[in-house]
Amino acid sequence: MAETIFSKIIRRGIPADIVYEDTRCLAFRDINPQAPTHILIIPKEELEGLQAAAPQHEQLLGHLLLVAARLAEQEGIAAAGYRCAINAGPEGGQTVCHLHVHLLGGRQMEWPPG
Ligand code: AMP
């Protein structure tokens, strides 16, 4: 599998505005933010997307969402509300083939997302 831009960020091959890191994941600000807060939470393990997740990823997936909730608190958007989104595959709008949770907030979200 070709190295993705997110793998390069994990190994510090390219810069990113990193806001959180632990042994399992990394979180950094999206380069093209769609809301005042737009953070991507990614596993350090290479996982193509939610469509490639298997039972052994259950804890990791839960961890990514809990980190998102913690970051929402940290960003001051938890009380007002926020959105977590995972785009999976081409029709899901996924453009980077490394699983990532979008944390978006700081403005009113709309539905359907388009
Ligand atoms: P998706 O369309 O769900 O695959 O989301 C990929 C996201 O990665 C987009 O919101 C991009 O703006 C973001 N992105 C791409 N390259 C970078 C980068 N070098 N640093 C931060 N965010 C990036």
Q: What is the CATH number of the domain that holds 27?
A: 3.30.428.10
- The per-residue pLDDT for 1 is 63
Structural domain contains residue 112: no
**Cα 94 to middle of ligand 1, angstroms:** 9
This prediction has a pTM of 0.98
Q: Which residues contact 52 (CB under 8 A, 6 or more apart)?
A: 99
Catalytic residue at 100?
yes
Rounded distance between C-alpha atoms, residue 75 and residue 54, angstroms:
31
Range of the domain at 29: 5-105
**Cα 79 to middle of ligand 1, angstroms:** 26
Picking from 35, 25, 109, 98, the residue whose alpha carbon sits closest to that of residue 68 is 25
- The per-residue pLDDT for 2 is 79
- Distances in Å between the Cα of 53 and the Cα atoms of 5, 49, 98 are 20, 7, 11
Q: How confident is the model at residue 12 (pLDDT cuts 50, 70, 90)?
A: very high
Q: Is the CB of 48 under 6 A from ligand 1?
A: no
Q: Is the CB of 113 under 6 A from ligand 1?
A: no
pLDDT digits (tens, 9 = 90+) for 25-66: 999 999 999 999 999 999 999 999 999 999 999 999 999 999
Q: Which amino acid is at 14?
A: I
- The per-residue pLDDT for 114 is 84
Q: How confident is the model at residue 73 (pLDDT cuts 50, 70, 90)?
A: very high
Structural domain contains residue 114: no
Structural domain contains residue 51: yes
Structural domain contains residue 111: no
The number of domains in the chain is 1
Structural domain contains residue 62: yes
